[in-house]
Amino acid sequence: MTKISDHDHYLDPLIARDDESLRSLLSTILASVPDAMIVIDQKGQIVAFSAAAEKMFGYTPEQVIGKNVSLLMTETDRNYHDRYMANYLETGEKQVIGIGRVVEARLANGDTIPVELKIGEAKLGDERLYTGYIRDVSQQRAAQHRIQQMQAELTNFTRLSAVGTMASAMAHELNQPLTAVANYLEAARDLLSTPGPETVKVVQDALSAASVQSVRAGQIIRRLRDYVSRGEIETRPVQLAPLVSDAASLAKIGLAGPLPRIIEAIDDDIGMVMADGVQLRQVLINLVRNAIEAMGDMSNPLIWISACRHGDNEVLVEVRDNGPGLQLQDGEDVFQPFSSSKATGMGLGLSICQTIIDGHGGKIWTLPSADDGAIFRFTLKRASTGEDV
């Protein structure tokens, strides 16, 4: 008889012992499927372990069959797995089944690697089986990270170049009116040192000219300020779900210690949104990173990112955590520039978020949470039917 493994008795409730053809088929699949494939029962115990999974994780089937699949997870994921299983069996609410996502996998030697995980479900009689298809994305993530670093460096260089050009232009344009103001005021001062009826008219003319040049300097500053605040936002129809997934991953880069589980719930019917993908991703990264930093050394940190339709023409995005929440004084505005609760913070992150969302024609605000934690919400415009292609 062809066996799936020496521990194939774990499949007894699901496959009859005399069903040679089915066992042979399953054995062939497990030996040849290119991606790592792991089958678990509804208790979370591993019942099948493919040849590709052996190669990826460094375990033999004998070492893992019958053990809880949390053996292959990092500590963060391990803490939540059994809870997710129990919640799904009780409520039927799917949080990971049928949804591809990138997680960290733990190998036999203790190393961790990023993997793309997709989970399917099958029901055989009263029993449920869950099949996980796992693909190592270490090289892909490394390449993406390098590309993102290069893009960030290029963007930073472009911004610094623009700031330098703007500063040079401001210095050049302001020099003339400010020099004129100084000259007119000095002349008026000198004339007043020897006052006389004939000097009054000259002093008045000098002060009038100084006033005109002051107004001109103010106009230059306002024009530059309007240019900066208007920014370079060019919106187009984009899918929101990939931006959320990217932001959830990028926000964790460079952070030490236990990282929170990030649960994404993007409704399927929202279609596309009108956005500048780079800037919208930055908003999500800022909000997620703030949540991560606020939860510090919590033992059970969680972040939820959700999006749903809001009225006929908008999408409502929410970022919520179970941290200590926002400790605000009466009238305090968290979006006010240079206002930060962090010892080393500049207080610009949320202000930048507000500027970007305003530039998209949306609104951003915070809500008090019924439980612990902070809630941030913002709106975006949905792409119209003609644009949603």
Under a CB-based contact definition with an 8 Å cutoff, are residues 300 and 322 in contact?
A: yes
Amino acid identity, residue 288? V
Q: Among residues 220, 219, 213, which one has the least CA distance to residue 181?
A: 213
d(CA 198, CA 177): 27
Residue 1 domain-assigned?
A: no
Whether 2 is in a domain gets the answer no
Supply the pLDDT for residue 385.
56
Tell me whether residue 3 is in a domain.
no
* 77 and 153 part of one domain: no
The answer to whether residue 118 is domain-embedded is yes
pLDDT at 274: 94
Name the DSSP letter for residue 260. Answer: -
* CATH number for position 342: 3.30.565.10
Query: Do 109 and 194 lie in a common domain?
Result: no
Euclidean distance between CA atoms 327 and 160, whole angstroms: 35
Q: What is the pTM of this model?
A: 0.47
User: Residue 95, class by beta-carbon neighbours within 10 Å (0-12 exposed, 13-18 middle, 19+ buried)?
Assistant: middle
* Final residue in a domain of this structure, among 230, 252, 270: 230
Pseudo-torsion of CA 206, 212, 217, 222, nearest 10°?
160
Residue 329 · residue 337 · CB < 8 Å: no
- Whether 298 and 368 map to the same domain: the answer is yes
Neighbours of 97 (CB within 10 A): 13
Distance of CA 330 to the CA centre of its chain: 29
| Residue 161 shares a structural domain with residue 225 | yes
For position 74, which CATH number holds? 3.30.450.20
Joined together, the tokens standing for residue 301 give 């940190």
What is the pLDDT at residue 238? 92
Q: Are 316 and 382 in contact (CB under 8 A)?
A: no
What is the helix, strand, coil percentage profile of the chain, to 5? 45, 20, 30
DSSP state, residue 110: S
Q: Which strand ranges, in their side-by-side order, compose the sheet holding 127-136?
A: 46-49, 36-41, 127-136, 112-124, 101-106
Domain count within the chain: 3
**DSSP letters along 173-205, please?**
HHHHHHHHHHHHHHHHHHHHTS--HHHHHHHHH
DSSP code of residue 383: P
Domain that holds residue 216: 141-230
Per-residue pLDDT in tens (0 to 9) along the chain, 389 residues:
334 444 444 455 445 444 666 666 677 777 777 888 888 887 888 888 888 999 999 999 889 988 988 888 887 677 666 667 666 666 666 666 666 677 788 899 988 888 888 888 877 777 778 888 888 887 877 677 667 666 666 665 555 555 555 566 566 567 767 888 888 888 888 888 777 777 888 888 888 888 887 887 777 666 655 555 555 567 899 999 988 988 887 777 666 667 888 999 999 889 899 998 878 888 898 899 888 888 877 778 899 999 999 988 999 999 999 888 877 666 567 777 545 555 444 456 787 788 889 889 999 999 876 567 889 999 999 987 544 43
Q: Tell me if 251 is assigned to some domain.
A: yes
* pLDDT value at residue 13: 47
- pLDDT at position 256, please? 67
